[in-house]
């Protein structure tokens, strides 16, 4: 039998150049496995940090809009530039009708990041309309038992988005860079005797809203060489009382900056309240401000960890 070498080579090139077996892809999303037969073309992301994950992977062309930003937060220059061609379809959490009217085929959200357990918009309620949902890993604690977060959770989300949208190489390169940055930070802080005691102050005066064991700030604080004083509270974001904050005496307070009450207002509240006068962070004026988009899972976490490390270890004050 005679073999045509040129034809065989041509067929081989076609077979290797076209990723015919790239789809379907299946990824783990909380306690579900989700299969995609093709890259979504009409995606919507909720909240600034999830939108930034999409932008970091250059997925704007796959999006028809975003939700859940201006109702609570403002767009900084970087994010505004990234989404300037996209409409905000809902200022707060979207309704099912918002997603259907946009003819969405994909919703990137999380529990308490655009979806509520038992609410109108969930993976189950959107399934009949062929809207695939990928859930933010940090938020999975609301629907399943899991270990406390590490920075790998954010990396997994980026890698899974890369698989869903067929940009795996882009996602892997991005995550590899973040891992190298993170390794350099943790290596620089290795050998410290005791972690810095840290409290995360999100909002609230009568009772503070903070990050517990399962919030991404716990992972960020630990990566920077600190310890979240609310690590024993088995929640991601939660309201607590001021008594344990005073008793546990944080050395640094991380202020989450967003909304009408600005970071400087929160700092002034703590510094001017006699109840907090003996807290080390207050006495020594050791506050570090993170914008909401830095304190929730997303691409800005790594630079934020570097800033936290500087403050925890006496630099950058």
Considering its fold, how many domains does the chain have in total? 2
Angle between helices 301-312 and 168-188 (to 10 degrees): 0
Amino acid 275: pLDDT: 96
Same domain, 209 and 127: no
Same domain, 157 and 202: no
Same domain, 99 and 220: no
- Return left, alpha or beta for 4; rule: phi > 0 is left, psi -120 to 50 is alpha, else beta: beta
Question: How does the average pLDDT of the chain come out, rounded?
Answer: 91
Nearest to 299 by CA among 110, 142, 187, 161: 161
Same domain, 233 and 302: yes
Same domain, 44 and 155: yes
Same domain, 26 and 135: yes
Select the more confidently predicted residue: 68 or 6.
68
- Residue 22 is part of which domain span? 17-167
What is the dihedral angle through the alpha carbons of 78, 72, 241, 211, rounded to the nearest 10 degrees?
-40
Amino acid 73: pLDDT: 81
What confidence tens digit (pLDDT) does each residue in 106-155 have? 999 999 999 999 999 999 999 999 999 999 999 999 999 999 999 999 99
Amino acid 178: pLDDT: 97
CATH number at residue 235: 3.40.50.1980
Same domain, 109 and 245: no
What is the dihedral angle through the alpha carbons of 281, 285, 290, 295, rounded to the nearest 10 degrees?
0
DSSP string of 226-271? Answer: EEETTTTS--SEEE--HHHHHHH--SEEEEEE-SSS-HHHHHHHHH
Tell me: pLDDT of 312 over 60: yes
Segment 277-296 shows an average pLDDT of 96
Question: What pTM value is reported for the model?
Answer: 0.89
On whether residue 181 sits in a domain, the answer given is: no
Amino acid 4: pLDDT: 52
On whether residue 122 sits in a domain, the answer given is: yes
Same domain, 196 and 159: no
On whether residue 175 sits in a domain, the answer given is: no
On whether residue 25 sits in a domain, the answer given is: yes
Same domain, 68 and 199: no
Q: How far apart are CA 168 and CA 53, in angstroms?
A: 14
Same domain, 234 and 301: yes
Same domain, 214 and 163: no
Select the more confidently predicted residue: 56 or 317.
56
Same domain, 134 and 205: no
What confidence tens digit (pLDDT) does each residue in 177-221 have? 999 999 999 888 777 778 999 999 999 999 999 999 999 999 999
What confidence tier does 13 reach under pLDDT thresholds 50, 70, 90? very low
On whether residue 11 sits in a domain, the answer given is: no
């Amino acid at each position: 039998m005679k073999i045509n070498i040129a034809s065989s080579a041509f067929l081989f090139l076609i077979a290797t150049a076209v990723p015919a077996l790239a789809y379907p892809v299946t990824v783990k999303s909380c306690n579900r496995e989700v299969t995609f037969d093709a890259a979504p073309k009409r995606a919507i992301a909720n909240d600034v940090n999830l939108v930034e994950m999409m932008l970091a992977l250059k997925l704007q062309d796959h999006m028809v809009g975003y939700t859940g930003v201006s109702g609570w937060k403002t767009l900084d220059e970087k994010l505004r530039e990234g989404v300037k061609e996209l409409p905000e379809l809902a200022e707060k959490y979207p309704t099912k009708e918002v997603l259907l009217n946009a003819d969405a085929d994909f919703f990137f959200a999380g529990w308490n990041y655009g979806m509520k357990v038992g609410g109108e918009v969930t993976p189950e309620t959107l399934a009949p309309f062929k809207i695939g949902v990928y859930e933010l890993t940090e938020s999975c604690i609301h629907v399943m038992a899991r270990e406390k977060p590490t920075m790998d959770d954010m990396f997994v989300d980026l890698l899974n988005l890369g698989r869903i949208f067929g940009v795996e190489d882009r996602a892997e390169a991005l995550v590899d860079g973040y891992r190298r940055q993170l390794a350099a930070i943790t290596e620089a802080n290795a050998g410290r005797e005791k972690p810095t005691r840290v409290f995360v102050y999100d909002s609230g005066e009568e009772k503070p809203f903070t990050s517990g064991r399962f919030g991404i700030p716990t992972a960020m604080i630990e990566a920077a060489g600190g310890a979240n004083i609310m690590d024993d509270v088995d929640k991601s974001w939660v309201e607590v009382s001021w008594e344990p904050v005073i008793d546990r005496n944080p050395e640094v307070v991380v202020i989450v900056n967003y909304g009408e009450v600005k970071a400087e207002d929160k700092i002034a509240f703590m510094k001017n309240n006699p109840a907090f006068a003996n807290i080390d962070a207050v006495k020594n004026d050791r506050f570090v401000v993170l914008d909401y988009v830095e304190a929730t899972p997303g691409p800005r976490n790594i630079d934020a960890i570097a800033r936290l490390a500087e403050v925890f270890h006496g630099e950058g004050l």
